[in-house]
């Protein structure tokens, strides 16, 4: 279902119009959301009032900036104020897991407008999975009553390594049929907008960072679910590594000489010892009937002592590997997320126990190890942030404000 550009190209009243790049520069000043007058903008930029007025008109025309009222008068007519209008466009944000997907529409401030979970087996392959996601997305777009012309971009997280520049999965171990699949190309047939694809743990780190810790320069998000992975923010930026494979915590050896065999072919990997799947397997050996991560979470929350002890021990093992990460990266915040993190403080306590005993004092002095605060939405929030960082940047802004996209 390709969307024709031509239909949206002619500006109509209330429809976004072309934005000259000079106005795009002015927009960067307004991105923080604070209301400003024309005089404020002239004072900051040093530009002539007449120039500012012309560029503000362009921004108002694009709807990316909207009137917010009037500033206090200093005599005479009070000056009008303007601010970034995050509702001017919307974003399709998708978090694809192994067995579930979360599809959300967000605004340009990464706030969720509407969302839907769906059961979806990633092994069904890219055409089936992306088809189901597209159907849900189009239904949600209809539900909020927005034209596709207002879609600023699509952000999508996949449960495997992604080549950042092309948006293609690279040798993903749990995604049969997806290797090198052109995800952006496929989605662009329906959504003719910027399509950004990344690893699911990377987008979780980005989502938690953007919405909860925007001022923290060095943060790591650890996802504990059936597997274990990390998303790394260093120097304020998401770090992907040379092949987009950075953050693979799950296949680091636990430093205790453990020899459990891992699916990767090595022994003693963290994921083989302390993931939700590994803990559930150990509990089954002791006669417990649990099959999913949700069963494990419920059992621990019910206060079962063996389950609590197993989760705390898994925390210690995760912490033993994180101690090395702390020495290497010296983050100030480690966020523990993923479905198994819902077991709560027992897991965090085990992690803290190992990290604080094994890492160097200087690196742990101001370190916080905390649970996720985004209530399962870190992925879609990060998928949205991938898009807004791109389309609101000085380089990206004209694409969504100009007539081609608008």
Q: Catalog residues that contact a copy of itself under the rule CB under 8 A.
A: 161, 170-171, 217-218, 230, 232, 234-235, 237, 239-249, 251-257, 264, 266, 268, 320-321, 323-325, 327-332, 357-363, 365-367
Q: 290 vs 314, which CB is nearer to a copy of itself? A: 314
243-254: b (≥16 Cβ within 10 Å) or e = ebebbbbbbbbb
3 state DSSP class of 266: coil
Residue bearing tokens 């934005």: 19
Q: 57 vs 256, which CB is nearer to a copy of itself? A: 256
Residue pair 137/103 in contact by the 8 Å Cβ criterion: yes
Q: 296 vs 355, which CB is nearer to a copy of itself? A: 355
Q: 218 vs 298, which CB is nearer to a copy of itself? A: 218
- Phi, psi (degrees; rounded to nearest 5) at 82: -135, 150
Q: 8 vs 246, which CB is nearer to a copy of itself? A: 246
Q: How far apart are CA 220 and CA 202, in angstroms?
A: 10
Minimum distance, C-beta of residue 226 to a copy of itself, in the bound complex (Å): 17
Pairing of strands 195-199, 168-169: unpaired
Q: How far apart are CA 230 and CA 227, in angstroms?
A: 10
Minimum distance, C-beta of residue 229 to a copy of itself, in the bound complex (Å): 10
**CB proximity list for 310: less than 8 A, separation 6 or greater:** 279, 282, 283
Minimum distance, C-beta of residue 406 to a copy of itself, in the bound complex (Å): 27
CA dihedral 133, 139, 141, 142 (to 10 degrees): 170
Q: 86 vs 172, which CB is nearer to a copy of itself? A: 172
Minimum distance, C-beta of residue 362 to a copy of itself, in the bound complex (Å): 5
3 state DSSP class of 33: coil
Minimum distance, C-beta of residue 236 to a copy of itself, in the bound complex (Å): 10
Q: 326 vs 381, which CB is nearer to a copy of itself? A: 326
Minimum distance, C-beta of residue 255 to a copy of itself, in the bound complex (Å): 4
Q: 130 vs 219, which CB is nearer to a copy of itself? A: 219
Task: Select from 103, 231, 254 the least CA-distant residue to 161.
Answer: 231
Q: 323 vs 397, which CB is nearer to a copy of itself? A: 323
Minimum distance, C-beta of residue 46 to a copy of itself, in the bound complex (Å): 12
- Phi, psi (degrees; rounded to nearest 5) at 365: -45, -50
Half-sphere exposure (Cβ direction) of 203: Cα atoms closer than 13 Å: 35
Query: Cβ-count burial of 48 within 10 angstroms (0-12 exposed, 13-18 middle, 19+ buried)?
Result: exposed
**CB proximity list for 297: less than 8 A, separation 6 or greater:** 339, 340, 342, 343
Minimum distance, C-beta of residue 131 to a copy of itself, in the bound complex (Å): 27
Minimum distance, C-beta of residue 299 to a copy of itself, in the bound complex (Å): 30
């Amino acid at each position: 279902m390709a969307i024709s550009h031509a239909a949206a190209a002619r500006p109509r009243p209330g429809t976004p119009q072309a934005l000259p790049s000079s106005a795009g520069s002015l927009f960067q000043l307004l991105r923080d959301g604070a209301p400003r007058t024309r005089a404020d903008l002239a004072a900051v930029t040093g530009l002539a009032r007449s120039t500012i007025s012309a560029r503000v008109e362009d921004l108002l025309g694009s709807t990316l900036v909207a009137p917010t009222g009037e500033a206090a008068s200093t005599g005479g007519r009070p000056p009008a104020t303007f601010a970034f209008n995050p509702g001017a466009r919307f974003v399709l944000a998708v978090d694809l897991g192994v067995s579930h997907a979360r599809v959300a529409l967000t605004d340009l401030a990464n706030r969720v407008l509407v969302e839907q979970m769906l059961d979806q087996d990633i092994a069904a392959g890219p055409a089936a999975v992306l088809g189901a996601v597209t159907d849900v997305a189009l239904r949600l777009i209809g539900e909020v009553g927005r034209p596709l012309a207002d879609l600023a971009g699509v952000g999508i997280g996949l449960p495997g390594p992604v080549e950042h520049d092309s948006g293609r999965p690279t040798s993903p171990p749990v995604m049969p049929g997806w290797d090198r699949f052109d995800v952006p190309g496929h989605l662009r047939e329906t959504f003719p907008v910027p399509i950004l694809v990344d690893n699911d743990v990377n987008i979780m780190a980005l989502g938690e960072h953007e919405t909860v810790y925007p001022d923290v320069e060095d943060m790591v998000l650890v996802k504990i679910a059936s597997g274990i992975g990390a998303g790394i923010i260093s120097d304020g930026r998401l770090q992907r590594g040379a092949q987009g494979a950075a953050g693979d915590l799950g296949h680091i050896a636990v430093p205790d000489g453990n020899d459990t065999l891992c699916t990767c072919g090595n022994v003693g990997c963290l994921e083989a010892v302390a993931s939700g799947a590994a803990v559930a397997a150990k509990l089954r050996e002791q006669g417990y009937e649990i099959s999913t991560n949700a069963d494990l979470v419920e059992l621990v929350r019910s206060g079962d002592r063996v389950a609590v002890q197993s989760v705390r021990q898994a925390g210690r093992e995760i912490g033993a590997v994180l101690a090395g990460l702390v020495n290497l990266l010296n983050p100030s915040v480690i966020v523990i997320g993923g479905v198994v993190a819902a077991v709560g403080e027992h897991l965090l306590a085990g992690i803290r126990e190992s990290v604080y005993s094994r890492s160097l004092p200087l690196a742990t002095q101001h370190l916080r190890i905390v649970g996720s605060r985004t209530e399962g939405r870190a992925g879609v929030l990060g998928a949205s942030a991938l898009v807004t960082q791109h389309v609101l940047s000085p380089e990206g802004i004209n694409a969504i404000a100009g007539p081609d996209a608008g």
